[in-house]
Chains A and B, each alone.
Chain A
């Protein structure tokens, strides 16, 4: 059974950089066709796709946030890291990592981690 779990700070100050880690099991990000995603959801609002990282280390970002996002992988550790710079209170959200099927839809999700941006 594929599992994913997000970890990172629960509170960050405005202008700080957020670093989130997704630790996964029962698959390898080195396997052809595997793609992982980050998605967020502000409290009471809809889901927003943020980034993808592919088995071949290709990366894709949401255009509206691309200048602030970096997604990287540590394949031997089965981890993917998302960094978001210049955090703002509007970035307060639950951040999810998800396994994607063919990079198209999200078939396994982590439990999510709530990040609050406040001074």
Chain B
């Protein structure tokens, strides 16, 4: 299985901050990397697919980059509604699809 490792596991930031979350794959996955946001008690929400494509309806302050094994999710200016847990997920050609352990973004 392809292991996905996110860093940091938790992060404190303030409204207006620029935040970057990293996801590393245990082998090259090209750009088969997706990002989700999950708020407590809610289902995950797709933010970014194929490493850098913004899902329809997602604010442009969210962006993704990377290829191969290293990927980043960037929030350019944190808004109050962005405090949540973020997960990466690889969808490379070999199953199983796997998720990172999550990054909890908290208010400083």
Q: Is the pairing of A and B real?
A: yes
Please determine whether B49 and A46 come into contact, CB atoms closer than 8 angstroms: no
B99 and A62 contact, CB distance less than 8 A = no
A-contact bits for B54-96, CB 8 A (1 contact / 0 none):
0100000000000000000000000000000001010100011
Interface size for chain B: under 10, 10 to 19, 20 to 34, or 35 or more residues?
20 to 34
For B32, give its contact among A101, A104, A112 (CB under 8 Å): A104
Residue of B nearest to A60 (CB): B95
Q: Which residues of B contact A105 (CB under 8 A)?
A: 34, 46, 49-50, 89, 91
Residues A107 and B98 in contact in the complex (CB < 8 Å), given A46-B87, A47-B44, A101-B49: no
Q: Would A106 and B44 count as touching, CB distance under 8 A?
A: yes
Interface residues contributed by chain A, number (CB under 8 Å) = 20
**Residues of chain A with a CB closer than 8 A to B50's CB:** 104-105
Question: A49 near B43 (CB under 8 angstroms)?
Answer: no
Is A24's CB within 8 Å of the partner chain B?
no
How many angstroms from the CA of A52 to the CA of B97 in the assembled complex? 10
Q: What residues of chain B have their CB less than 8 Å away from a CB belonging to chain A?
A: 1, 32, 34, 36, 42-46, 49-50, 55, 87, 89, 91, 95-102
Q: Is the CB of B91 within 8 A of A63?
A: no
Interface string of A103-119 (1 = CB under 8 A from B): 11111011110000000
Contact residues in B for A49 (Cβ distance below 8 Å): 89, 96-99
A54, CB-defined interface residue at 8 Å: no
Inter-chain CA distance A112–B40, complex, in Å, is 12
Query: Which A residues, 35 to 93, have Cβ-Cβ distances below 8 Å to chain B?
Result: 46-49, 52, 60, 62-64
Cβ–Cβ contact A106 & B46, under 8 A:
yes
- Cα(A107)–Cα(B58), bound, Å: 12
B11 smallest CB distance to A (angstroms): 16
22 residue pairs from A and B, CB less than 8 Å apart: A46-B101, A47-B44, A47-B99, A48-B99, A49-B96, A49-B97, A49-B98, A62-B95, A63-B1, A64-B96, A101-B49, A104-B49, A105-B34, A105-B46, A105-B49, A105-B50, A105-B89, A106-B34, A107-B55, A109-B44, A109-B45, A110-B43
